[in-house]
Amino acid sequence: MIKNIFFLLLLVSVFACGNRDGDIIIDDFENDGLYILIEGLRNDDGQIILDLMDENENKIDTIYQTISDKTCEITITDLPAGRYAFQYIHDENLNKEFDANGLGIPVEGYGYSRNAPGTFGPPDMEEMIFDYDGSLEMKCQILYLF
């Protein structure tokens, strides 16, 4: 039993810690605002729930957005220049919760700004934080463990 749990935790850490730097693209956006494109969704079910935070980890807003063609587009306007981070989940069953199995392993997709990898939980804020000057596009790749 202990060996099985250890193997499962090791497997989760390998998937969760994989180098995803190749997935991150941050460019100037042609319009004002923060444009977030989340790609790689496994279906169009449910919604994306995104929590936007300031550099002090204070939640600024929670955004609920629909999914179309296995992608989700979010545009945030009227956001002052500053340093921010976000985390998001694919709430497939619309229960507004991040569902996990009996061992606490996520069964819904999730991700973080800058495609920061988490190890047995969210990444450090410094891995997620980005500078925003009034116009920015971020492309994110969602992660599913199962």
Q: Report how far residue 143's alpha carbon sits from residue 146's, in angstroms, rounded to the nearest whole number.
A: 9
Amino acid at position 30, single letter = E
Q: Residue 23's pLDDT is what?
A: 40
Q: What is the pLDDT of residues 96-144, one digit of tens each?
A: 999 999 998 999 999 999 999 987 788 999 999 999 999 999 999 999 9
Q: In 3-state terms, what secondary structure has residue 104? A: coil
Q: Which tokens belong to 51?
A: 């929590």
* CATH 2.60.120, applies to 2-141: no
Cα–Cα dist 66/61, whole Å: 16
Task: Give the length of the chain.
Answer: 146
Q: Give the pTM.
A: 0.80
Calculate the average pLDDT of the chain.
84
